[in-house]
């Protein structure tokens, strides 16, 4: 009989932690406890993937009336009511959090609504003052969005704050060019907000296939998002008499300022810190925005967990360093998910949690497979991607690139300029498909299926042997006969 309170103590009730806890308890009979200081469900359910995707759905209705008009429907665009949507969203998130709690309860996991930190290799201290011991401790504490290190950065919001906005702003500046920046640029634009995006690099979505990210940038500009590449914030401040659009006094500014700046001045005059924000970019004139959103990356939640005293190694961004079985430098402590900063995606954290349970509780050492992970970026249009970009593949070996870009039937019929992209990157030597990149409505749904074939090691000829589903956009993925180029 174990002398510990539990076989497993999990720190963090997000996707990875909850899955590991309930599988360990439910399938192996382990005595499991879990501590969560915030809401159950973590980033994905409460302030990430789920509310974001619901906002994507909400924003996509904006383009539907004009599409319907092209098909003969007499429909007028209505207006979007943020408080109504947010009310429905909160109800849904409450429901999902309830499901997460009951999944744990029904699996026999004991939960603590408290912050936990490691006291020693087998003991956690809870913010309630209790201490609990466990044979194994699993850290699944996730990550958090970070602001750039600059004066007044706290005037900007981060992705966690979006779902709590009282009102939709009239104008927003989004800083960053990654997943979160691009997805929310499209979402806010669809909801009727005037969106400006600053990205410091030459093209958004660094690391993804050049052609695919180029097409998304084009589509975002075409839709009216003011995307400024090679641009960053130099300075920001509450809009006031010293920080106005004319760069001089308040009365000078009032003579030339636009409507939002006039609002800024009056808000600032009333001492309202939630008023518009004055921003000086690296190029161009200062501007005022109702909201500035920093989508400038996320860091692991590893501080104040007591790691140092146990000799657990932490990397440059605060990530807990683990081996292929998710074990830290301390034999009884494991870590999974965003806190390890490997591949920061919900399904990957879940896989890491399952592999941990196999390894520690089922006597079946299972390394996590991080190869060929399909993923989607929910921009409008979406990107679905798996495997190597053309650029990464050609650095490794000679490749054939099969690619087509066209106006899809549904929107072309209504006279819309939207384009889609289907692309396969193929090894010349083995004919294996090394990468597949799709930019199209519902590309996330398509790439899940393409991902199975590519994970199985499908060759271009396997794709060719597959009969097309007609008429669809994705049929192009099996009908591209001649390489566009060899590299």
Report the alpha-carbon angle 387-301-146, nearest 5.
Answer: 75
Active site residue 144: no
Residue 457 lies near ligand NDP (rule: CB under 6 A): no
Owner of token pair 């999974």: 336
Residue 185 lies near ligand NDP (rule: CB under 6 A): no
Q: Please say whether the beta carbons of 138 and 332 come within 8 A.
A: no
Q: Which window, 4-12, 107-115, 193-201, 435-443, contacts ligand NDP (CB under 6 A)?
A: 193-201
Q: What is the DSSP string of 242-256?
A: TB-TTSS-HHHHHHH
Distances (CA, A) of 62 to 76, 83, 307, 344, 376: 10, 17, 48, 30, 21
Q: Please say whether the beta carbons of 397 and 486 come within 8 A.
A: no
Number of Cβ within 10 Å of residue 131's Cβ equals 13
Selected binder of ligand NDP within 180, 265, 312, 443 (CB under 6 A): 180
Task: Return the structure tokens found at 179.
Answer: 């997943």
d(CA 298, CA 338): 9
Task: Return the structure tokens found at 268.
Answer: 């600032």
Selected binder of ligand NDP within 200, 327, 416, 431 (CB under 6 A): 200
Closest to ligand NDP by CB, 137 or 181: 181
Selected binder of ligand NDP within 34, 35, 162, 181 (CB under 6 A): 181
- Residue 452: is it exposed, middle or buried by C-beta count within 10 angstroms (0-12/13-18/19+)? exposed
Minimum separation from the CB atom of position 231 to ligand NDP (A): 9
d(CA 44, CA 159): 12
Residue 148 lies near ligand NDP (rule: CB under 6 A): yes
Residue 226 lies near ligand NDP (rule: CB under 6 A): no
Residue 201 lies near ligand NDP (rule: CB under 6 A): yes
Residue 217 lies near ligand NDP (rule: CB under 6 A): no
Q: Please say whether the beta carbons of 385 and 376 come within 8 A.
A: yes
Residue 298 lies near ligand NDP (rule: CB under 6 A): yes
Closest to ligand NDP by CB, 40 or 378: 378
Minimum separation from the CB atom of position 186 to ligand NDP (A): 12
Closest to ligand NDP by CB, 89 or 484: 89
Kindly give the interhelix angle for 179-190 and 49-60, rounded to the nearest 10 degrees. 40
Residue 344 lies near ligand NDP (rule: CB under 6 A): yes
263 contacts: CB under 8 Å, gap ≥ 6? 275, 276
Closest to ligand NDP by CB, 111 or 197: 197
Minimum separation from the CB atom of position 439 to ligand NDP (A): 14
Closest to ligand NDP by CB, 168 or 182: 182
Q: Which window, 11-19, 112-120, 180-188, 362-370, contacts ligand NDP (CB under 6 A)?
A: 180-188
Selected binder of ligand NDP within 26, 70, 214, 297 (CB under 6 A): 297
Residue 55 lies near ligand NDP (rule: CB under 6 A): no
Alpha helices in 191-231 (DSSP H): 210-223
Q: Which window, 94-102, 178-186, 248-256, 385-393, contacts ligand NDP (CB under 6 A)?
A: 178-186
Report the alpha-carbon angle 246-252-255, nearest 5.
Answer: 95
Residue 206 lies near ligand NDP (rule: CB under 6 A): yes
Selected binder of ligand NDP within 10, 55, 175, 322 (CB under 6 A): 175
Selected binder of ligand NDP within 169, 176, 337, 451 (CB under 6 A): 176
d(CA 86, CA 92): 10
Residue 281 lies near ligand NDP (rule: CB under 6 A): no
Minimum separation from the CB atom of position 209 to ligand NDP (A): 15
Minimum separation from the CB atom of position 107 to ligand NDP (A): 27
x/- binding map, residues 346-375, to ligand NDP, per CB under 6 A?
Answer: -----------------------------x
Rama region for 159: left / alpha / beta (φ>0; ψ in -120 to 50; rest):
alpha
72 contacts: CB under 8 Å, gap ≥ 6? none
Closest to ligand NDP by CB, 14 or 178: 178
Selected binder of ligand NDP within 138, 295, 312, 454 (CB under 6 A): 295
Residue 377 lies near ligand NDP (rule: CB under 6 A): yes
Closest to ligand NDP by CB, 55 or 345: 345
Residue 177 lies near ligand NDP (rule: CB under 6 A): yes
234 contacts: CB under 8 Å, gap ≥ 6? 280, 281, 282
Distances (CA, A) of 93 to 230, 258, 356: 37, 39, 28
Strand partners, 421: 405, 439
Residues annotated catalytic, as ranges: 470
């Amino acid at each position: 009989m174990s002398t510990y309170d539990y076989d497993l103590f999990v720190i963090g009730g997000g996707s990875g932690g909850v899955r590991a806890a309930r599988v360990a308890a439910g399938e192996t009979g382990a005595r499991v406890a879990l501590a969560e200081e915030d809401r159950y469900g973590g980033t994905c359910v409460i302030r990430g993937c789920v509310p974001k995707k619901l906002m994507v759905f909400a924003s996509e209705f904006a383009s539907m009336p004009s599409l319907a008009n092209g098909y003969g429907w007499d429909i007028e665009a209505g207006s979007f009511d943020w408080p109504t949507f947010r009310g429905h969203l909160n109800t849904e998130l409450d429901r999902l959090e309830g499901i997460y709690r009951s999944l744990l309860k029904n699996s026999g996991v004991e939960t603590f609504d408290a912050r936990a930190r490691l006291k020693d290799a087998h003991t956690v201290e809870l913010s309630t003052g209790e201490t609990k011991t466990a044979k194994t401790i699993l850290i699944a504490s996730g990550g958090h969005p970070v602001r750039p290190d600059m004066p007044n950065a706290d005037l900007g919001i981060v992705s966690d704050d979006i779902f709590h906005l009282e009102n939709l702003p009239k104008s927003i500046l989004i800083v960053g060019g990654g997943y979160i920046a691009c997805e929310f640029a499209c979402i806010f634009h669809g909801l009727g907000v005037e969106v400006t995006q600053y990205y410091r690099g030459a093209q958004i979505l660094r690391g993804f296939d050049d052609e695919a990210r180029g097409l998304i940038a084009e589509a975002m500009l075409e839709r009216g998002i003011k995307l400024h590449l090679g641009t960053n914030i130099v300075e920001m401040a509450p809009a006031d008499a010293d920080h106005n659009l004319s760069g001089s006094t308040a009365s000078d500014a009032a003579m030339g300022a636009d409507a939002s700046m006039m609002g800024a001045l009056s808000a600032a005059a009333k001492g309202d810190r939630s008023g518009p924000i004055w921003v000086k970019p690296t190029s161009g004139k200062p501007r005022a925005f109702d909201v500035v959103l920093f989508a400038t990356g996320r860091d692991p939640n590893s501080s104040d967990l007591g790691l140092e005293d146990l000799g657990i190694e932490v990397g440059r961004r605060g990530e807990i360093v683990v081996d292929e079985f998710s074990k830290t430098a301390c034999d009884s402590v494991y870590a999974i998910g965003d806190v390890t900063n490997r591949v920061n995606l919900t399904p990957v954290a879940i896989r890491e949690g399952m592999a941990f349970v196999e390894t520690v509780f089922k006597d079946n050492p299972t390394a996590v497979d991080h190869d060929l992970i399909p993923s989607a970026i929910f921009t409008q249009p979406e990107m679905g991607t798996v495997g190597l970009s053309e650029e990464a593949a050609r650095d490794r070996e000679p490749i054939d690139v099969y690619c087509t870009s066209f106006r899809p039937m549904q929107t072309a019929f209504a006279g819309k300029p939207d384009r889609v992209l289907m692309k396969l990157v193929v090894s010349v030597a083995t004919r294996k498909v090394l990468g597949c990149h799709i930019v199209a409505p519902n590309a996330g749904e398509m790439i899940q299926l393409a991902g199975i074939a590519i994970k199985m090691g499908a060759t271009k000829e396997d794709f060719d042997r597959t009969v097309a589903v007609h008429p669809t956009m994705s049929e192009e993925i099996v009908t591209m006969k001649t390489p566009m180029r060899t590299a």
